[in-house]
Amino acid sequence: MNVTKEKILLLLLAGIAFGYSITPGQQRRVLGAISREWNKISKQELTEGIKYLYKLDLIDKEVSKNGFVRLTLTKKGKLKSLGFRLNNLKNKKEKWDGKWRMVSFDIPEKYKRGRDALRRKLKFIGFRELQKSVFITPVECKREIELLVNYFELDKFVRFAVLEYVDNEAYFKKLFKIK
């Protein structure tokens, strides 16, 4: 998939991120970023990209009575764009802010598939196990985790926290290659 099509999927996913924005400041930042990125895509690339994504069943489109077109991600499209976002997170290289991000969960057995998928994705993007259902990373990732948890519909079983201290921090600093 080329960069334009990937960008279209990520921008549609950003619309979902807008829905998770709690404060007006967060909403303004998300809308500003979306607007800037949409303007970087030429009309022809956008049209071709949307047609292609529609054929792959990654997006749905609805045309209203007044002619407005509404694009939404399908379940398959959400997973694909989330994969791009998680890949970007996995490859993120930035200076550590001294804080740990922790994801913990207690997911019932009847949601085993979602629990296992969440665990695999957390490991894929670089989280390390603190305990069986507690993972940490030094990388800022709150929005991506919210999207991931929402995708698997596990919101009520998963918690996200930012920690300033972990008792075996030296071990994790070595594991994450933090100086």
**Domains of the chain, earliest start first:** 3-87 (1.10.10), 92-175 (3.30.70.240)
Residue 21: what pLDDT? Answer: 64
Residue 16: what pLDDT? Answer: 66
Residue 18: what pLDDT? Answer: 67
What would the DSSP string read from start to end of 55-112? HTTSEEEEE-TTS-EEEEE-HHHHHHHHHHHHHHHHT------S-EEEEEE---GGGH
Residues of the chain whose pLDDT is less than 70?
Answer: 1, 15-22
Residue 115: what pLDDT? Answer: 93
The predicted model scores a pTM of 0.71
Q: What six digits make up the tokens of 142?
A: 């709150």
Residue 19: what pLDDT? Answer: 67
Encode pLDDT of 161-178 as tens digits. 999 999 989 999 999 888
